[in-house]
Amino acid sequence: MWKLQLSSMNKLDQYLIQQFWAILALSVLGFVSIFVIVDLIENLDRFVDNKVPAGIVFQYYIYTLPWFVSIGLPMSMLISTVFSLGSMVKRNEWTAMKASGISLYRVALPLILSGLFISGASFVLDNQLVAYGNEKRFEIDRDYVKRKSRHKLRNTLKNIFLQKNTSTHISMGRYYIKKSVGHDLSVVELGESIIQNRIDAKKIKWNPDSLKWNLTGYSIRNFDENGEVTHVAINESDTLLALGFMPEEIQQQARKPDELDYFKLTERIQKLKENGVDTLRWEVTRYLKISFAFTNLIVVLFGIPLVVLKEKNSLSFGAGASVFVIFGYYAFIKFGQSLGFNGIVDPLLSAWLGNILFLTGGILLLWRART
């Protein structure tokens, strides 16, 4: 009898997983198709007005696909859970299993494991393909879609801080990416916590022929071991100097958090902190890269009881409730993100606020529906 029940459960697991993954694939494909169509309609006038080649538009959406998959996964996971389990409830298979003493937890196990697997895969997707794709599509938007560009403002950088190594610190008040022109430059060389050299310039402009910077209105100061100035050179005319950094290194500052994976974002935050820059928004975004991936598991935990609690109208109730759940979930994620950006709550808590609330709700509903 025990072996027979085990065999039946294995077949049930296989059937449920097949149903779940088939619906998941169709749901992801459907959502991604909708996202592409809506985004294309929204951007069509910008592409036409700026005469963007069709090949570039195609590249734009190839780079956008990973992001669309990432944001469509939680919705697809919830739909897959509701319909795969709901079909069993509709055919009274769940009623028969309850009568045989099989618990809801056991039935839900393959779905929960699938949710856990997808969460891990989503984290990898977000930190590999999504980050890279966002970087490339933002570049296309800046380079080809000049009018009404969503990312045009990023061509001008303010309050830039670079740290070449433990001894060289570079700051700049403003930098224009396309012109390779910077204002209010300061380069400080440290030696055992004491300033050795300092260069200040009103304006710098990159010279691609000499691979040096053209400085206007600059001063060079040398210091001794006691911190006293030993030499000062002031020049108002243009002078070519090698400052130890390239325009590409400054342009890295233009990259948004969405263009960086979790690990590069952690490195950037560390460097910004070392230079005294406020990293609040960066930290919230970093924690969101983990918390959003686990959304895929939590919606599964929430979707299971939605079907079982209303056995008579399981599919219709589950489908209807899924709409409210997913929109409510995204609303709480944005709410928590806003709290974190404004410093009202800790960045870690702000990123996990929606997950904590819905995970708690999902566990409570699952406990209630277990019998």
Percentage with pLDDT > 70 across the chain: 87
What is the spatial distance between Cα 78 and Cα 238, in angstroms, rounded to a whole number? 63
Neighbours of 127 (CB within 10 A): 19
pLDDT of 266:
87
User: Which of 61-75, 157-171, 220-234 has maximum average pLDDT?
Assistant: 61-75
Residue 152 scores a pLDDT above 50: no
Task: Tell whether the model's pLDDT for residue 203 goes beyond 70.
Answer: yes
| pTM attached to this predicted model | 0.72
Q: What was the pLDDT predicted at 349?
A: 93
Return the pLDDT at 40: 92
Residue among 45, 39, 75 nearest 60 (CA)? 39
Instruction: Output phi, psi for 277, to 5 deg.
Output: -90, 140
- Domain extent listing, the chain: 2-148+284-368, 159-253
Q: What is the pLDDT of residue 76?
A: 93
- By mean pLDDT, which of 28-37, 91-100, 133-142, 177-186 is the weakest? 91-100
User: Given this model, what pLDDT does residue 346 score?
Assistant: 92
Q: Note the helical H segments in the chain.
A: 2-49, 54-90, 93-99, 104-125, 131-144, 247-251, 262-274, 280-291, 295-308, 314-341, 347-368
What is the pLDDT, as a whole number, of residue 316? 66
The pLDDT score that the predictor gives to residue 310 is: 67
Half-sphere exposure of 292 (CA within 13 A, CB side): 27
Query: Looking at per-residue confidence, does 295 or 141 come out higher?
Result: 295
3-state secondary structure (DSSP) of residue 355:
helix
Structure-token match 């001063």, residue found: 219
Average pLDDT over the chain reads 82
Compute the distance between CA of residue 203 and CA of residue 215 in angstroms, rounded to an integer: 6
Percent of the chain surpassing pLDDT 90: 25
- The pLDDT score that the predictor gives to residue 73 is 93
More confident residue, 27 or 320: 27
